[in-house]
Amino acid sequence: MVMFWVSLLAVSVLLYVLLDGVDLGVGLLFGLANGEARRGAMLSAVAPIWDGNETWLVVTAVILWGAFPVVYATLLSAFYLPLIVMLLGLILRGVAFEFRYKTQRLRWIWDLSFAGGSLIATFIQGMTVGALVEGLQITNGEYSGGEVGWLTPFAVLCGVGLCLGYALLGSCWLVRKCEVEVREIARHQIPVLAVGVLAFLVVVFAYALAENLPILHRWIDRPYLFVFPAIGAIAAIVLALSILNHNDYWPFYMVALIFLSAFGTLALSFWPYMIPFVVTVDEAAAPQSSLMFMFWGGAVVFPLMLLYTLVSYRVFRGKVGETAGYGHH
């Protein structure tokens, strides 16, 4: 039963990172874009899917709350302010989608909110993972790091790294969904962002070595973990080839594969801990009766959610027409 909920959690987190990573990344690139035509096309590329993507964040939170209450409580105590700010960033960018077409003079406010909200949310997600990897200060099962215990150079570095990563995912999505100008610009952004992500990974690895982070020992204990970076490296090579061949579809799948391998790396180097080296999955799990009670909710709702996600991506497949703006007629 515990494994059922762990699997659900893993799938939700992965889907959230992959799917919302796309539209958060497009939001980041939106901040760099100029010209209404380009901005409109970028929004159209994510308009049908962005709000569905965020349901996976809700699912993640609900699973943590219901099935792993200790983790939910600890994470929320440790990251109280950053997570609230992240939610506000997501709210602001969601509203910006709707409001920007209602004004012309003040459109810049909503464009700024959209890009800014995406940036804040992405940065905080990366920073949270970074702080978890580095290890939270926990005494007697309670978080004791203080209000800003998560604020370390490593966590900030991870925040910047995730911004690069999501922007890379977003640029690949734009290549896939858009045409002409937007696609060409995104195609030129991919190598820059990919090199940025690579540099970030090198720095993270060097930092982990220098600081002798406990997570590194797991890698020495479990050499099979190197399968994931290997998959990531192969995906990066295919990504480079697909960019050289001007392919519109492969870059997105390859970056998704890189994210998948990064996620697998992290998940397996945490395992069996949920909060590294403090709380294991079994310790974190709610009582068996609670897990059983929620089982049918998960077993029925979860497949339905997967189904509607698949259906909505199928319905909105293909290229976005250049003039089909989000709010235009």
Partner 1 sequence: MTPFLTIRQATISLVIFCAIYAFIFLFGTFYIYRLIRVGPRGQLFEIPGLAFPNRPMSLADAAPIHEPSHAGAGE
**What string marks each residue from 206 to 225 as x (binds partner 1 by CB under 8 A) or -?**
--------------------
Strands 142-143 and 138-139, bridge-based pairing:
antiparallel
Q: State the binding string over 141-180 for partner 1 (x if CB under 8 A, else -).
A: -xxx--x---------------------------------
The CA distances from residue 83 to 14, 86, 150, 198, 203, in Å, are 18, 5, 12, 27, 25
As a whole number of angstroms, the distance between CA 138 and CA 107 comes to 45
Asked if 98 is part of the footprint of partner 1 (rule: CB under 8 A), the reply reads yes
Among 32, 81, 230, 307, binds partner 1 (CB under 8 A): 81
Selected binder of partner 1 within 7, 77, 288, 323 (CB under 8 A): 77
Contact status, residue 78 vs residue 145, Cβ threshold 8 Å? yes
Q: Give strand pairing partners of 138.
A: 143
The verdict on 323 binding partner 1 (CB under 8 A) reads no
Q: Is 91 in the site for partner 1 (CB under 8 A)?
A: yes
Contact between 327 and partner 1 by CB under 8 A: the answer reads: yes
Q: Taking contact as CB under 8 A, which single stretch among the options 64-72, 85-93, 173-181, 258-266 is the one that binds partner 1?
A: 85-93
Q: How does DSSP classify residue 318?
A: S
Kindly state the number of chain residues that form the binding site for partner 1, as judged by CB under 8 A.
25
Q: Choose the binding region for partner 1 from 30-38, 84-92, 165-173, 194-202 (rule: CB under 8 A).
A: 84-92
Residues 129-148 that bind partner 1 (CB under 8 A): 142-144, 147
d(CA 95, CA 92): 5
- One of 18, 61, 95, 216 touching partner 1 (CB under 8 A): 95
Least Å from the CB of residue 50 to partner 1: 11
Nearest distance from C-beta of residue 226 to partner 1, angstroms: 37
Report the alpha-carbon distance of residue 23 to residue 310 in Å, rounded.
17
Which helix H or strand E contains 143, and what residues bound it?
A: strand 142-143
Based on CB atoms, which residue is closest to partner 1, 99 or 277? Answer: 99
- Write out the binding residues for partner 1, residues 46-65 only, by CB under 8 A: 51
Rounded to whole angstroms, how far apart are CA atoms 57 and 124? 14
d(CA 119, CA 99): 19
Which residue among 7, 80, 192, 311 contacts partner 1 (CB under 8 A)? 80
Nearest CA-CA partner of 112 in 32, 185, 166: 32
Q: What is the 3-state secondary structure (H, E, C) of 259-303?
A: HHHHHHHHHHHHCCEEECCCEEHHHHCCCHHHHHHHHHHHHHHHH
Among 4, 65, 101, 316, binds partner 1 (CB under 8 A): 101
Question: Binding residues for partner 1, per CB under 8 A?
Answer: 51, 77-78, 80-81, 84-85, 88, 91-92, 95, 98-99, 101-104, 106, 109, 142-144, 147, 327, 329
